[in-house]
């Protein structure tokens, strides 16, 4: 009988233990300075992110959700305007659009990459009468077809906001970084991301100086200097403590990408040895594109997803479902009367996808245990 091995979906303590001696002195430095909001640490991080992503500007903010909101505000998206986005994504994507009174128009996804496509964006646009922007998501750490979707955006006359919350370091088919080719890129530093802080944090990237300057004002209530406001913004400033942590972690990001890619390749090697029609594994794109594996997501067919999830839990293996209820089926969007195209791939993905542990500190033994446990389950179906 196989001995159970505990494999959590994510264990951030392992990462922290390896960085504790670097991070804690910097936290004390921030505390001693009493400079907690914006300031030198944030400026340092903004410069590092701009250099890494390959954009002229980066603007820190309080969360990835706020990054999306600020991007929409910076592009003057107003109540009643339409913004195309996927329904198969984290809530913040559609939530930011609705928060300012605009209308999310749902685009379906490719069943292999789980990302919107050029054709699905065009199909969604056919439903629009007042399209203002397109907000695709680089889901799970893999970019959309940037050439194709950018072509669609140009044809539609709508700027692209890249929701790259899960995709820092991902590269598209040209080798360009996620967040570098759209009008705006939006990133999250939530702790579960490949580059995660000790709480919420976000970043906006752009090559447009005027837009960067405007978003910099919008994040501090719309004022270029204190107490003087030429428009209404929001309070969304990045904390210096978060920036200090992220400045340390930036130097390890490529190493962590490599660890996640190694784990994904090992999963693929073991699982591909067992031929079963119930399981579809994710594939890495061809170079120069790069998947950074924020999540490793299987498709489990024939209604077996939930029973596999339960079985893995019994064996001490953590998993999660991203995302069980697509946005167009959420109660808070029911007033939109299903605005957009038919979303058959979206609805199917919500019933079939299952995320496995993929964090870089996993051992080969743990990966092997997860994969062989899945095979044990499939053999009995």
Question: Does the residue 348 lie in any domain?
Answer: yes
Q: Is the dihedral of CA 270, 274, 279, 283 positive or negative?
A: positive
pLDDT at site 2: 58
Residue 202 sits in the same domain as residue 278: no
pLDDT of amino acid 228: 87
pLDDT tens by residue, 359-377: 999 999 999 999 999 999 9
Q: What is the average pLDDT across 277-285?
A: 92
Cβ-contact 242, 100 below 8 angstroms: no
The pLDDT value recorded for residue 341 is 60
Residue 179 confidence (pLDDT): 98
Q: Report the 3 state secondary structure along 165-196.
A: CCCCCCECCCCCECCCCCCEEEEECCCCCCCC
Q: Looking at the structure, tell me whether residues 302 and 356 fall in a common domain.
A: yes
What is the value of pTM for the model shown?
Answer: 0.94
For position 69, which CATH number holds?
3.40.640.10
What share of the chain in percent tops pLDDT 70? 98
Tell whether 81 is covered by a domain: yes
- Domain check: are 237 and 272 in the same one? no
The total domain count for the chain is: 2
CB atoms within 10 A of CB 63: 19
Looking at the structure, tell me whether residues 186 and 298 fall in a common domain.
Answer: no
Out of 226, 250, 274, a domain closes at: 250
Q: 306-309 long-range CB contacts below 8 Å, 24 or more apart?
A: 307/377, 308/354, 308/374, 308/377, 309/354
pLDDT at position 338, please? 58
Does 1 have pLDDT greater than 50?
A: no
Q: Could you tell me if 170 and 281 lie in one domain?
A: no
Residue 342 is part of a domain; what is its CATH number?
3.90.1150.10
Range of 279's domain?
A: 253-379
CA neighbours closer than 13 Å in the CB half-sphere of residue 356: 31
């Amino acid at each position: 009988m196989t001995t159970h091995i505990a494999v959590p979906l994510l264990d951030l303590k392992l990462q922290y233990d390896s960085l504790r001696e670097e991070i804690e002195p910097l936290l004390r430095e921030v505390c001693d300075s009493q400079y907690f909001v914006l300031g030198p640490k944030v400026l340092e991080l903004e410069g590092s992110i701009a250099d890494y992503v390959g954009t002229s500007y980066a603007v820190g903010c309080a969360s990835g959700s706020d990054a999306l909101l600020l991007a929409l505000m910076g592009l003057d998206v107003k109540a009643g305007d339409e913004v195309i986005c996927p329904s198969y994504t984290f809530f913040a994507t559609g939530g930011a659009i609705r928060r300012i009174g605009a209308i999310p128009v749902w685009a379906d996804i490719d069943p292999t990459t789980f990302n919107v496509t050029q054709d699905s964006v065009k199909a969604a646009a056919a439903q629009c009468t007042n399209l203002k922007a397109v907000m695709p998501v680089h889901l799970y750490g893999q970019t959309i077809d940037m050439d194709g979707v950018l072509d669609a955006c140009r044809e539609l006359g709508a700027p692209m906001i890249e929701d790259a919350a899960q995709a820092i370091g991902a590269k598209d088919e040209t080798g360009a970084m996620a967040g570098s080719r759209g009008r705006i890129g939006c990133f999250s530093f939530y702790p579960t991301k490949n580059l995660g802080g000790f709480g919420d944090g976000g970043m906006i990237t752009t090559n447009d100086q005027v837009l960067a300057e405007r978003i910099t004002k919008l994040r501090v209530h719309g004022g270029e200097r204190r107490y003087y406001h030429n428009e209404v913004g929001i309070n969304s400033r990045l904390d210096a403590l978060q920036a200090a942590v992220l400045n340390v972690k930036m130097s390890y990001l490529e190493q962590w990408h490599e660890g996640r890619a190694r784990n994904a390749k090992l999963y693929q090697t073991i699982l591909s040895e067992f031929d079963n029609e119930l399981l579809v594994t994710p594939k890495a794109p061809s170079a120069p594109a790069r998947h950074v594996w924020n999540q490793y997501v299987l498709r489990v067919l024939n209604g077996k997803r939930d029973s596999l999830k339960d079985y893995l839990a019994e064996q001490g293996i953590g998993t999660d479902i991203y995302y069980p209820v697509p946005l167009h089926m959420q109660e808070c969007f029911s007033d939109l009367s299903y605005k957009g195209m038919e979303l058959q791939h979206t609805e199917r993905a919500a019933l079939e996808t299952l995320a496995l542990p993929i964090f870089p500190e996993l051992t080969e033994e743990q990966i092997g245990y997860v994969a062989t446990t899945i095979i044990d389950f499939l053999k009995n179906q």
